[in-house]
Every structure is written in C-alpha cells, then in structure tokens.
Amino acid sequence: MTDPQPPERFTLTLRVVPGDIDELGHVNNVVYLRWVQEVAVAHWRTAATPAQQDALVWVAVRHEIDYKRPAMPDEEILVATWVGVASRRTFERHTEIYRAHDRALLARARTVWCPLDRATLKVIEVDADVRARFSVGEA
C-alpha cells in the first residue's frame, strides 16, 4: 500500500506594509487572518475553472490560528495553503505563514469553508470535479 500524495501547496509572496503594524511594532493578528483569506481566494481563482468560479463562492465558517513568531515591518512573507479533507458541505483549508529570508514559521491556520451557489448564496454541495481538484479526501 502506498502513502497518498501530499496535497499540492499554493503559495503567495507578500510584503509587510506600514498599515499591517500594530502598536506593539509587529504585524497585527488580524492581518494574519487577512493573509489566510487572500491566499485561499488566490488559490481558488488560480486553480478553479471559469465555470466553477461562476457557479461557486466560498464563505469561511471557522478559523483557528496559532501564532508562532511576529512578522516585522517590511519583511517578505510566504503564505502557503492547501485543501485538506472535504465533507458534503465543507472543505478544510490549511495555511502556513513563513518569513521568507529564513523560512521561520510565523503562524499556522486551519479554516473551514462552505460553498455557496453564487446566484442564490445558498449552501450547496460541490461536484466531483471540484472535489477531485481541491480535496485530499472525504470526511
């Protein structure tokens, strides 16, 4: 029996800007959440077909973030994401945020996303192609 392939990661490179910094002199925790959303949306827009993008929109229903180290002004940041297990109506997404120059882990997140029909904004089940393209398995 072979081990399953590790999920393919999608990565964005970002730079810390002055508006990301809080009164403690490092990136505010809310910015990490923004980065989690930005990389998820970018991954979807890059990997989903135009038809899938026209049919579905995603909404986050849960975020869990573990903060490991602070990001500092003007640092380059790598934000990597991949989709984990899917249930009938939720997809688990993982994100890791690293400082680019030394690859130090700054934060790790697990988010649960729910698909909505773009026209009605009602929760739907996604088709087999979306599951095959994004998920590593069924819950």
What's the confidence (pLDDT) of residue 2?
A: 44
Q: For residue 45, give the H/E element and its range.
A: helix 29-47
Q: What is the pLDDT of residue 41?
A: 96
Share of the chain above pLDDT 90, in %: 78
What's this model's pTM, rounded to 2 decimal places?
A: 0.89
Per-residue pLDDT band for 139 (boundaries 50, 70, 90) equals: low
The answer to whether residue 31 scores a pLDDT higher than 60 is: yes
How many Å apart are CA 33 and CA 21, to the nearest integer? 14
The pairing of strands 91-99 and 10-15 is unpaired
Q: Which helix (H) or strand (E) holds 15?
A: strand 10-15
Strand (E) positions, 16-136?
A: 56-67, 76-86, 91-99, 105-117
Supply 10's token pair.
């999608």
- Cα–Cα distances in Å, from 124 out to 9, 87, 88, 98, 113? 25, 12, 9, 34, 12
- Summarize pLDDT for 87-128 with one digit per residue, the tens: 888 899 999 999 999 999 999 999 999 999 999 999 998 877
Non-local (6+) Cβ contacts of 132 within 8 A are none
DSSP label at residue 139: -
Three-state DSSP state, 87: coil
Of 2-11, 70-79, 100-109, 115-124, which gets the smallest average pLDDT?
2-11
Looking at residue 35, what is its pLDDT?
Answer: 98
pLDDT at 137 over 80: no
Task: Domains for the chain: give ranges and CATH numbers.
Answer: 10-138 (3.10.129.10)
